[in-house]
Structure 1
Amino acid sequence: MILICKNYKEENESYEEVIDWLLYNNAKFDFFSGEDFYDSGNDWSMQLGNSQVNSLHKTHIYKSVWFQGFLKHKTQFSPIFEDINCTNINLIELRWCLSQEIGKINAQIFYNFKNSYQLPSPEAIKVDKFANLRLAKKIGLEIPDSLLTNSKKELLSFVEKHKEIIAKPLYEGISFQEKDCVIDFLTEKVNPEQLQELPSIFFPSFFQAYVEKDIELRVFYLEGKFYTMAMFSQLDSQTKTDFRNYNDERPNRRVPYLLPKEIEEKIIKFMTELKLNTGSIDLIKTPDKKYVFLEVNPTGQFGFTSKPCNYYLEDEIAKTLIENDG
């Protein structure tokens, strides 16, 4: 039987279409979510003793597991905080401690599937962008010159060398709504005014040399196969630096693309080293025909690539899960 791990609260059209393909192929599957464990209406336990280990009920029956989320560390803890009377600083600290605790609990839950086929492994999805850049460079992929610093002096020296630079999060690019504004953590160019306003020592931040694009590439990787899409994001000032600054009125043109064999071989080495059997990889093809690696997202939105290129990735994912459920 197939097990699908997903955060039920996140809506995803492509995820629903994978379910449709599983149903079409008469596959047997169950759903498994963090809400099953952290909602007050459900009880469960795991026991560990000197004589035996009792794991979660029925987890041994799943031969194929698809991880598309479980429970984010920003879980709703509102019931816990309602009766707590303490400072905002202590509330922040408490939220951080609880998120770390959830991470450890999740790891023990996932241990129950260590002998199942996993797409991808929950251990492998812990992305470290800076470490991945080191690995990509070691394997022979081009990467942007990168800097992690809290020093204005070092940053100005970096700007002097590269002229144009970007700032980007080392964690996920996220966006959230406040009362009167939207706060984004995305990739942005750093302008001279921002540089001048920086103090001599600032919060440690990640910078890269701006890479001029011919085209931007999104590669969906699945068990050694490549499904690559070219995006002409450089033709729109809104999406030129980061295509996630979507222009809904004038979307980027997106078409299928074939990577050079040499680049595919290097990416296979890269993914194998990370023990990732799937993921979405961002590349840039420069005007002088170099392929520059940016990052990999192990649980990236494959529908973004599937639909424009007619790759039917939802069907491919369903087939992979079914083939490994034998």
Structure 2
Amino acid sequence: MTSEYEENVNSIIENLESRGYEWQRINSEKTSYKNGISIDFNSNEVSLNGTNLNSVGAVYCRKWGRFGLNKWQSAVAQYRDETAPTDFAISDTKHIYRYLKYALNDRFWLNRLDNFDDYINRLIQMAEAKRVGFKIPNSIVTQSYDELTNFYSENDGNIITKVTGQIPASLQSMCYTTKVEEDFLELASSDLPNCPTLFQSYVDKKYEIRSTVVGDKIFSAIIDSQSHDLDLVKFDWRYANADTAIYPVELPDKVNTKILNLMKSLKLDFGAIDLILTHDDEYYFLEVNPEGQWGWIEVETGLQITNEIVEKLVYEDQKRST
């Protein structure tokens, strides 16, 4: 289950095919017109493009919920002023595909939909990370201008803001981690009451670390954002558009243990965890993305993340059939 634009999934499919395994891909943008779902309640069979899903042993849920019609259908619907039928088709299709979660509930999922929905929230993630022993930046969520200015002063004017959960892809570049400057405070005096907002102390970094977790395997890489020429990259490496030095690193056992304990507490079998290593060699937790990208990490480091995902899916599929 994925998006049609996911190159990472193409790598998984190529790996599966090289091993002789069958697969079915659901692109949620095309669920309303191209996937050929069939549900027979007399025989309790669910099929997709003619393939009986009773034979499925493992499900990889890369992305979910961006349902839609194709562009031509959407354009025709708007031209004919048929947005209501279009919206109905998308809405009902979403519910029908949600049945797959029920029908395949006894299979292995990487990750389960319910767990993904519950634990994409960064506030829950921070609370759980703190519980398992990670340090987290000083953090508040507030709609109060006075609370914000007090927090700003307490942290010597060195704070950032960021979103607390999943956002539309079209808005992602607008929602990277941002340093709070004086002009931001001026805007916040009128705008902050309209939306509770997360603020954190800025933690000075030696490196950023991306740890991609597949089951009980951890693939970690240093992202050397602090050596980049662009100041924005020092606050969020994504501003560099991947133009940042990246290389593999083996984390201390105690840090890896915290990572696995966190994933267990969040009920996630896959996730991309962002950490900070300070100049005092302290590890701070930032967030875990259950949909985190990993292809670019493989290209730069040679870490075999795709292969481990396939190994996990194949293992769970074979375990069910024995």
TM-score by length of 2: 0.83
Maintained 8 Å contact 1:143/1:294: yes
Note closer, same or farther for the CA distance 1:29–1:214 as it changes in structure 2 (3 Å cut): same
Paired position in structure 1 for 2:26: 32
Q: Secondary structure of 1:56's partner?
A: strand
Shift of 1:30: 2.1
Unaligned runs of 5+ in 1: none
Residue by residue over 1:228-282, the C-alpha shift from the partner in whole angstroms, topping out at 9 and shown as x without a partner, is: 000110122131111111256xx21111111111111111111111111111000
Q: In the alignment, is residue 253 of structure 1 matched against residue 253 of structure 2?
A: no
Note closer, same or farther for the CA distance 1:132–1:11 as it changes in structure 2 (3 Å cut): closer
Q: Secondary structure of 2:170's partner?
A: strand
Paired position in structure 2 for 1:108: 99
What amino acid maps onto 2:305 in structure 1?
A: L
Note closer, same or farther for the CA distance 1:104–1:30 as it changes in structure 2 (3 Å cut): closer
Identity of aligned residues (%): 24
Shift of 1:199: 2.7
How many residues matched? Answer: 303
Maintained 8 Å contact 1:173/1:184: no
User: More strand per residue: 1 or 2?
Assistant: 1
Q: Secondary structure of 2:10's partner?
A: helix
Q: In the alignment, is residue 312 of structure 1 matched against residue 304 of structure 2?
A: yes
Shift of 1:167: 1.2
What amino acid maps onto 1:188 in structure 2?
A: T
Shift of 1:183: 6.1
Match of 2:178 among 162, 177, 188: 188
Residue by residue over 1:197-228, the C-alpha shift from the partner in whole angstroms, topping out at 9 and shown as x without a partner, is: 32353422221111110100000111111110
Paired position in structure 2 for 1:6: 2
Shift of 1:174: 5.3
Shift of 1:23: 1.6
Shift of 1:84: 5.1
What amino acid maps onto 1:241 in structure 2?
A: F
Maintained 8 Å contact 1:189/1:241: yes
Shift of 1:100: 7.6
Moved more, 97-106 or 281-290: 97-106
Q: In the alignment, is residue 135 of structure 1 matched against residue 128 of structure 2?
A: yes
Q: In the alignment, is residue 121 of structure 1 matched against residue 112 of structure 2?
A: yes
Unaligned runs of 5+ in 2: none
Note closer, same or farther for the CA distance 1:130–1:98 as it changes in structure 2 (3 Å cut): farther
TM-score by length of 1: 0.82
Aligned-residue CA RMSD in angstroms? Answer: 3.0
Query: How do 1:263-278 residues align onto structure 2 when only pairs under 5 Å count?
Result: 263-278=255-270
Q: In the alignment, is residue 287 of structure 1 matched against residue 283 of structure 2?
A: no
Q: In the alignment, is residue 151 of structure 1 matched against residue 141 of structure 2?
A: no
Cα distance between partner residues in 1 of 2:141 and 2:249 = 33
What amino acid maps onto 2:148 in structure 1?
A: L
